[in-house]
Amino acid sequence: MSSSQLPLIDSFGRLHNNLRISVTDRCNIRCFYCMPAEDVQFMDKSELLTFEEIERFVRVAVPLGIDKLRLTGGEPLVRRELHTLVAKLAAIPGIKDVGLTTNGIFLAEQAADLYAAGLRRINVSLDALTPEKFKQFTRRDGFEKVIEGIQAARRVGFDPVKINAVSVRGMTEDEVVPFGHFARETGVEVRFIEYMPLDADNAWERGKVLFAHEIIEKLSAEIMPLVPTVLHDRTAREQPAHGGGHGGPASDFVFEDGVGRIGFIASISQPFCMSCNRIRITADGKLRNCLFSLDETDVRSLVRGDGTDDQIASAIRSSVAAKKEGHEINTARFIQPARPMYSIGG
């Protein structure tokens, strides 16, 4: 095997096959844990990678082992004709999977085109199940449109459709049981994401995170015990009532009767950095080896200028090689990245 075909393995032995692509930093809502309420400084349109530049970058990344893509932002569905990018990327030989994370507001009108373009997996962000609470999270109206978007996505054939709900102490507690019932009644998997220090307002504190184990306990007590799916699929009926979520690798759970899937992204209480397989490219073409990294590599100058494919590949290799062991949120050493979530691409 020549060195140009070696997989993307970092100095901790982690293999990287997953690329998150941010297509814009713009957004039509203003979630408090991500964006400032007002006066957002968006990138100039000329700074954004074009669809052709994104496609070129992906074509270079595939021989290095990238086979899974997810489009994100900002809100990816505000980027015009996004389905044409999906079609370009899904057609690249070696790409096994193209996913999308969206706030769902424009999903009803775009779901059919996205599906036809080859997109198959959608995560819709929805933090609450009432319009009032939705507005507290997003500082905007739009709850009904998101629900319509989820329904449209399922109707045109997306499977799975997952919901991402950021879990915030003082706000999410009342949503937990309704989300449990929602998962059971609709078949949509609900994934709770612990609130991370990537907000534009720099207001994150550890005390504001509602932890995965607290949600597991509440759902188990108020609906029915949750069990990790791995255990459930093997020996569902023999498992103890509690899913165990402290320290084990399992992050996907199901209610004991097999109905209703609940997932957890417990980045704060159970960091999973040692199994991270992701790299990211921002909408303005900066390569990042971690959500929390403090530095990034400019690849726009290469894909836009006269950089060769070898130069782009070597920029990707160097970025992966420099990846740190993990985020340090739970230590005094932690420094919040200058870019908030909407500008990195979640």
Residue list 152-171, contact with ligand SAM (CB under 6 A): 164, 166
Determine, following the binding rule CB under 6 A, whether residue 27 of this chain makes contact with ligand SAM.
Answer: yes
Least separation in angstroms between residue 96's CB and ligand SAM is: 21
Long-range CB contacts (within 8 A, 24+) of 230-239: 232/256, 232/258
Which residue number, 103 or 269, has a Cβ lying nearer to ligand SF4?
A: 103
Residues facing 197 on adjacent strands:
none
Least separation in angstroms between residue 341's CB and ligand SAM is: 4
Q: Which does 87 bind (CB under 5 to 8 A by kind): ligand SAM, ligand SF4, none?
A: none
- d(Cα 328, Cα 163) in Å, to the nearest integer? 27
Among residues 115, 195, 211, 292, the one that binds ligand SAM under rule CB under 6 A: 195
Start-to-end CA distance of the chain, whole Å, equals: 34
Q: Retrieve residue 283's tokens.
A: 């909408």
Which residue number, 11 or 330, has a Cβ lying nearer to ligand SAM?
A: 330
Helix (H) or strand (E) holding 151: helix 143-156
Least separation in angstroms between residue 87's CB and ligand SAM is: 20
Q: Which does 196 bind (CB under 5 to 8 A by kind): ligand SF4, ligand SAM, none?
A: ligand SAM
Whole-number Cα distances in Å, 65 to 16, 19, 58, 279, 343:
7, 10, 11, 12, 26
Q: Retrieve residue 173's tokens.
A: 């507690």
Least separation in angstroms between residue 75's CB and ligand SAM is: 4
Residue-level length of the chain: 346
Q: Retrieve residue 122's tokens.
A: 């959608």
Q: Which of 102, 212, 197 is nearest to 146 (CA)?
A: 102
Least separation in angstroms between residue 346's CB and ligand SAM is: 3
Which residue number, 139 or 304, has a Cβ lying nearer to ligand SAM?
A: 139
Q: Which does 51 bind (CB under 5 to 8 A by kind): ligand SAM, ligand SF4, none?
A: none
Q: Which does 223 bind (CB under 5 to 8 A by kind): ligand SAM, ligand SF4, none?
A: none
Least separation in angstroms between residue 324's CB and ligand SAM is: 19
Q: Which of 283, 260, 282, 277 is nearest to 320 (CA)?
A: 277
Positions in the binding site for ligand SF4 (CB under 6 A) = 27, 29-31, 34-35, 73-75, 103, 125, 341-342
Determine, following the binding rule CB under 6 A, whether residue 110 of this chain makes contact with ligand SAM.
Answer: no
Least separation in angstroms between residue 100's CB and ligand SAM is: 8
Q: Which does 260 bind (CB under 5 to 8 A by kind): ligand SAM, ligand SF4, none?
A: none
The answer to whether 116 and 83 are in contact (CB under 8 A) is yes
Least separation in angstroms between residue 127's CB and ligand SF4 is: 9
Which residue number, 38 or 205, has a Cβ lying nearer to ligand SAM?
A: 205
- d(Cα 23, Cα 89) in Å, to the nearest integer? 13
- The residue type found at 212 is A
Determine if the peptide bond prior to 160 is cis (ω within 30°): yes
Q: Which does 30 bind (CB under 5 to 8 A by kind): ligand SAM, ligand SF4, none?
A: ligand SF4
- The residue type found at 313 is A
Q: Retrieve residue 10's tokens.
A: 């970092």
Q: Retrieve residue 113's tokens.
A: 């085109």
Q: Which residue is nearest to ligand SAM (CB)?
A: 346
Place of tokens 């060195």: 3
Determine, following the binding rule CB under 6 A, whether residue 101 of this chain makes contact with ligand SAM.
Answer: yes
Q: Given the rule CB under 6 A, which residues bind ligand SAM?
A: 27, 33-34, 72-73, 75, 101-103, 125, 164, 166, 193, 195-196, 198-199, 341-342, 346
